[in-house]
Amino acid sequence: MKRLILLPVGLMLLFLSAVACTEDEEALNLTDFRYDLVTCRHDDGALIFLRDDTVLLYPRQTLSADLLPVDSRALVGYSPVGEVVARRLDIDLQTSIAPAAGGDIRSLSSEAADSLADDPIYLTSVWCSGGYVNLRYKIEYHDRSHALTMITVVPDEGTDTLDVQLRHDTRGDAPGYDVSGYASYRLPRPLPPVVRVRVNTSNLGGVRHFVSTIK
């Protein structure tokens, strides 16, 4: 899998015009409003979302399945309509859909891993849910696109812990302004019991390891 390229506009600004607000629409409805990082699913030609707690979200605004592929991750802001019934919840989208960076975790030899850049990144949070390793971060962008890659080095040590590493490549970008983003990387199946995520941080004292137990 190729490395993901972070576009200058920033991942949180990459919105889909199909659900963009117009001047005639009402202001944001904050009643029971929530944000979720979700997995995209298709249902009879429509785009729906799988929440990490296995609840399927059905937008009352019909969205074409062509907007985002199956298994891609996105951040959605919405208000629930009614209650969850048979793992289904109808929703009103309150924000545009922000696709998240990510994809599959690459398996590399130690030599190939050593060839990748390991520039520090401002890490806000990291967690595992829904079968994905998820990160919230900031990059300092000026005029060159950055690249993010999640890797595991093979062969592993044969333990129950999956060790993964986030690699950030600034591509020589000069200091500029902060751009926030989310990334979500699909864990291998069957899911490992424990995941240890290595991140070279710019705000937490350098290289840090974060351990998560998969339930």
Q: Are residues 71 and 148 in the same domain?
A: no
Query: Please, which residues have CB within 8 angstroms of residue 201's CB and are 6 or more apart in sequence?
Result: 120, 121, 122, 123, 207, 208
Which structural domain range is residue 115 located in?
4-9+101-213
φ, ψ dihedrals at 202, nearest 5°: -100, -10
Q: Are residues 83 and 132 in the same domain?
A: no
- For 49-102, what is each residue's pLDDT tens digit? 999 999 999 999 999 999 999 999 999 999 999 999 999 999 999 999 999 999
Q: Are residues 149 and 182 in the same domain?
A: yes
- Is residue 65 packed enough to be buried (19+ CB in 10 Å), middle (13-18) or exposed (0-12)? middle
- For 117-165, what is each residue's pLDDT tens digit? 999 999 999 999 999 999 999 999 999 999 999 999 998 767 889 999 9
| Inside any domain, residue 14 | no
- Is residue 131 packed enough to be buried (19+ CB in 10 Å), middle (13-18) or exposed (0-12)? middle
Q: Are residues 74 and 49 in the same domain?
A: yes
Dist CA 113 CA 107 (whole Å)? 9
